[in-house]
Structure 1
Amino acid sequence: MAQPPATHTNWPIFRSLKAFRPSDLPGDLIAGLTLAAIAIPEQMATSRLGGFSPQIGFFAFIAGSLGFAMFGANRFLSCGADSTITPIFAGGLAVMATAGSPDYQSLAMALALMVGVIMIAGSLFKLGWIANLLSTPVTVGFLAGISVHILVSQLPGVLGLHTPDGPTLYKLGMLAKDIGQTNLYTLAIGLGVLALVAGSETISARIPGALIGLVAATIAVIAGHLESKGVNVVGTVPGTLPKPSLPDIAPERWVKLLSLALLIAVVVMVQTAATTRSFLSDRDKPADVDRDFLGAGAGSVLSGLFGAFPVNASPPRTGIVSETGGRSQLAGLVAAGIVLALLAFGATLLQHVPDAALGGVLLFVALRIIRLKQIVMIFRQSFYEFLLVVATAAAIIVLPIEQGVAVGIALSLLHGIWTTTRGRLVEFVHVPNTTIWWPAGRQVGGEPRPGIIVVGQQAPLSFLNAANFHSDVIKMIGASTPKPRLLVIEASGIVEIDFTAAQALHDLFRECREDGVTIAIARLESTRAQDAFERFNLYDVLPRDRVFHSVDEALRTLGGPA
């Protein structure tokens, strides 16, 4: 009986090929052909989105596929040029150089190398937790904002209008002003490709609607002599192959790129983690996120050496590999080989591809990444988090895009901090006819006990809430009638205690002792919290025999009624 492919953590490179069997070859070949058909138009379009010629997108795809196949763990993940990060780094690079210039490409190469190094460092230092920096509402808002950027950047090409420079809202205003000059041929091509891609996706994601659309649009341009009617085309695509080289930029410009590289790396980490967790190599084992960071990082390093830009994991392309029977990274290597062959022998086939067709592909990408269902769900279930969606999207649309992304990350962190600070003191009551003490609430028919207070903190105890915890306990003791003789802290929710919180507990234990109130800890279950009691010498002020496995045990031991 055939066994499922196993994860071999000790294999240094091409890990997904370790369990390869000859019977897997047909599935990988079919998946590779399908992936190439999807990737070719997408990589061309994404490259143009970033201000590069189409073959640079092919270089990025080849590098991303090879780098991830060598060092990544996921069997399905496709890595290459990605429309999520391209508008971000294109906006940052445009401030430093003119898009399309040699200087611009050198900066992009340097950025790819820096992002790759950061990703590799993230893998070596096990920084997979960074992928959790963006909450779901912030991620949804981030994608909505990126979508608007892509739509606004591609509409001029689809409409046959001049692309204005400036902020997104200014571009929208200029487009609205010039809408009457729309070229109907380019509009028909752009919307036709968009409809074809969307229709193909509706029928089956395996249908290469983008490639079919590009071929049909190219035939229409040639047959109808549409270039003479104002339809812009890609033009000559050099049949050059990627050759390793290093970017020639001054040292101080590397320093200027650092903040942008960190920003891009965080976004790549988030998307790589989400992709590899969505398409698991082995359903019985968790995703090896740190190893996949290494693969994506190696892809960006190779991309920089090949003269391209940072690469990222692609959820749609990864889904294609998984759905079409791919069994290993051989599928990605097959697709990369097809793209390489196109560069070497078929680049002239691309010169009549209309820009509007690439714009139509990107319009579909932009519409696909807007998560309308999630936005509606967040609005219905948590209005305050819906405001996070709106704020993040607005920041990315209104501000320079890299600043908007930074604001989104900051909002996510602030949201996490705010959530932690909301964890306030909770009073527990005794559930009749049991030994259970439960948080007081409308659905709990519990009862307090005279002279006994049982409280808990349902959040990590840290500098964010330590002062509130201390003051709330003191207030509860002061407001209790009669004065309590026993205070039990139910600590199951306290999974962490930092230095500031430990000092607050020191003070609380001392003040209770001076006030004649016996204090005990129950259910200190977290090993990190237990280590904190040892590390911060909390047992110097609270005897070890005052720490119990349950509230009931504490009451029985310290003389309280059971």
Structure 2
Amino acid sequence: MREALRRWAPGLAALLAYRRADLGPDLRAGLAVAAVAIPVGIAYAELAGFRPEVGLYSCVFPLVAYAIFGSSRQLVLGPDAATCAVIASAVAPLAAGDGAAYAALSAELALLTGIICILARFLRLGVLADFLSKPILIGFLNGIAITIVLGQLAKITRIEAEGDHVLHATFDLVVRLGETHPPTLLIALGAFGLMIASGRLLPAFPAAVLAMAGAALAVFLLGLDLSGVKTLGVVPAGLPGVMLVRLDPDALAALVPAAGGLALVSFTSMMLTSRSFASKNGYEVDPDKDFAALGAANVVSALTHGFAVSGADSRTAMADAAGGRTHAAALVAAVAVALVLMFLTAPLRYVPVAALGAVLVMAGLSLVDLATLRLIARADRTEAVISLLATLGVVVLGATQGILVAVVLALLRFLHISARPRVEILGRVAGMPGFHALSRHESATAPHGLVIFRFNGPLVFFNAGHFRHALMAATSAEQGAPKAVILDLLPVTEVDVTGLFTLKEVSDALRQRGIALVGAGRQTEWRNWMVTHGFNPDGIVMHPTLRHAVKALAAADTDHADADDTKVS
């Protein structure tokens, strides 16, 4: 029973073995997480196009689901900037301004996302955690950040900008800046000031809480809502009931791809967060189990009037900084948010929308990671360009299409790396043992009459042509025809049928020119593989190491020279 729990519900298994010593730190961490989750949940609900209570619903039950099924002790799930941007981008065109349809379609999207995540767990697709490279993910999140910041300008100026696209709306807003509503702008500027001051003077205090509380107090005391400052209005008290999510067949064609993209991006970013905190605290997380846990959290959110959720890095960081040790911290946070929903929603009516816009602008700016982008550019300019393309895809095409751009970029990068592995010609360097690339060592010299060829990747159907072209070019570039080509097989981790036929074709072509093709490394593995598959290209002699191959060829050359001398004498 215990083994089954660890396999299917690792969080619950850990909670059943809970230590009393962890209770105090988990209580403090849970309350700290709730203090951040409440304002952020309300702000992200606004970003996704929901009423504030929906954002709070999404901070309660998904937390409980992950605490039961997840493997990370610190990870906190909830509304996330990227997730909310994708929801708005995917659902708004389908709902066409109908609030009820918007809520129903969002629940359907969360349910589909959850189902896809659970199916991915059974297909053992946890390896997808590494699918989106760091540059692509950074670029995607930078694009989301820019979109969020631009999207909040209308809230902090109260200009009803026109335009279906965020760039069009931003241009229209800039043209109409003279229509800015001064009290609304002052509230937003005050919220910015409170968050900046709080970050410097009270770093342990949630800045968003201070900004929303201060702005709400200003509205209440000064009657700013009567001056045209838009507020949240009445927020219904109580917890949501369970609802049956109806799948709309007409919307499935649009929602399934969006759900797939949402599952991929949510899971990838979530695993980056959970792995970093697991490494810091000295334990491992299981990607496959966490895929299922993310799916369970989204299904539960859909059934309880919430929307799609993901790993929340800021709230996870808060849980860790406050000393949270186990999944119980997330349960404490969920209970705290639930208590606010039941008994403390009345003051939320005075929270101005402009303050929420300011909170989202600060959240968006915190997502911008120019420092990492600069590091990427120093390491590899191509990767930096790919990161910028991912950013551009989100800003120009929107969050949903931006996911597609990120996936296509990831596939193209993978194909480029796999289809064009690095090719090196090796030689000796004085004072250094072994063989080294001629291109990296000016003093390296190739053994006389030999080409030592290294292909740094598997030899399979999509790179076999590159292998053939590079090897034949290496023999043509040699001053005078080489006597032999030694193929370093250690980096060649896999060979498919196309690769074998390519080897045979190259061997035959070289033999016609009087050049032998010799293999070095993986001798036993290659021999067994070829015997198993009944394939043995003529003329390819195998040696255990490069050194052995060079020595054997040198000895054969000496024997041949001696035989010629004997004939002459």
TM value normalised by structure 1: 0.91
Q: Which residue type is aligned with residue 439 of structure 1?
A: A
Choose the corresponding residue for 2:73, options 75, 85, 88: 75
Give the distance between the partners of 2:12 and 2:141, measured in 1 at CA: 32
Q: 1:541 is matched with which residue?
A: 537
Choose the corresponding residue for 1:364, options 351, 357, 362: 362
Moved more, 272-281 or 422-431: 422-431
Q: 2:149 is matched with which residue?
A: 151
Give the distance between the partners of 1:115 and 1:473, measured in 2 at CA: 47
Q: 1:461 is matched with which residue?
A: 459
Choose the corresponding residue for 1:22, options 1, 20, 23: 20
Choose the corresponding residue for 1:51, options 41, 49, 52: 49
Give the distance between the partners of 1:51 and 1:11, measured in 2 at CA: 33
In structure 2, the CA distance between the partners of 1:344 and 1:435, relative to structure 1 (3 Å rule), is closer
Deviation at 1:19, TM superposition (A): 4.5
Q: 2:276 is matched with which residue?
A: 278
After the TM superposition, which residues 154-233 of structure 1 pair with which residues of structure 2 at under 5 Å, given as runs? 154-202=152-200, 206-233=204-231
% identical aligned pairs = 28
Q: Which residue type is aligned with residue 139 of structure 2?
A: G
**Secondary structure of the structure 2 residue equivalent to 1:88:** helix
Give deviations 1:57-103, integer Å, cap 9, x for gaps.
11111122011101000000000111111111211111110356111
Deviation at 1:535, TM superposition (A): 6.6
After the TM superposition, which residues 456-535 of structure 1 pair with which residues of structure 2 at under 5 Å, given as runs? 456-524=454-522
Give deviations 1:307-352, integer Å, cap 9, x for gaps.
2211100111111111101011111111111111111122222111
After the TM superposition, which residues 88-167 of structure 1 pair with which residues of structure 2 at under 5 Å, given as runs? 88-99=86-97, 101-167=99-165
Moved more, 15-24 or 81-90: 15-24
Contact 1:495 1:526 in 2 (8 A): no
Give the distance between the partners of 2:458 and 2:317, measured in 1 at CA: 37
Q: 1:439 is matched with which residue?
A: 437
In structure 2, the CA distance between the partners of 1:8 and 1:543, relative to structure 1 (3 Å rule), is farther
Confirm or deny that 1:296 pairs with 2:291: no
Contact 1:494 1:524 in 2 (8 A): no
Q: Which has the higher helix share?
A: 2
Give deviations 1:22-80, integer Å, cap 9, x for gaps.
01000000000000000000000001111110111111111220111010000000001
Q: Which residue type is aligned with residue 503 of structure 2?
A: L
Deviation at 1:461, TM superposition (A): 2.8
Deviation at 1:553, TM superposition (A): 1.6
Confirm or deny that 1:61 pairs with 2:59: yes
Choose the corresponding residue for 1:308, options 293, 297, 306: 306
Aligned pairs, number = 553
Give the distance between the partners of 2:311 and 2:527, measured in 1 at CA: 39
Give the distance between the partners of 1:433 and 1:398, measured in 2 at CA: 55
Deviation at 1:434, TM superposition (A): 6.5
Q: Which residue type is aligned with residue 135 of structure 2?
A: P
Give deviations 1:113-158, integer Å, cap 9, x for gaps.
1111111122222212212222222222211211111112211111
Q: 1:395 is matched with which residue?
A: 393
In structure 2, the CA distance between the partners of 1:526 and 1:135, relative to structure 1 (3 Å rule), is farther
Q: Which residue type is aligned with residue 300 of structure 2?
A: L
Q: Which residue type is aligned with residue 383 of structure 1?
A: R
Moved more, 42-51 or 417-426: 417-426
Q: Radius of gyration: which is bigger?
A: 2
Deviation at 1:442, TM superposition (A): 4.6
Q: 1:3 is matched with which residue?
A: none
**Secondary structure of the structure 1 residue equivalent to 2:421:** coil
Deviation at 1:254, TM superposition (A): 2.5
In structure 2, the CA distance between the partners of 1:184 and 1:405, relative to structure 1 (3 Å rule), is same
Give the distance between the partners of 1:525 and 1:145, measured in 2 at CA: 50
Give the distance between the partners of 1:530 and 1:30, measured in 2 at CA: 62
Deviation at 1:196, TM superposition (A): 2.5
Q: Which residue type is aligned with residue 549 of structure 1?
A: P
Choose the corresponding residue for 1:85, options 80, 83, 86: 83
Give the distance between the partners of 1:205 and 1:298, measured in 2 at CA: 34
Q: 2:546 is matched with which residue?
A: 551
Contact 2:75 2:273 in 1 (8 A): yes
Choose the corresponding residue for 1:321, options 293, 303, 319: 319
**Secondary structure of the structure 2 residue equivalent to 1:172:** helix
Contact 1:206 1:324 in 2 (8 A): no
Q: 1:248 is matched with which residue?
A: 246
Give the distance between the partners of 2:393 and 2:275, measured in 1 at CA: 28
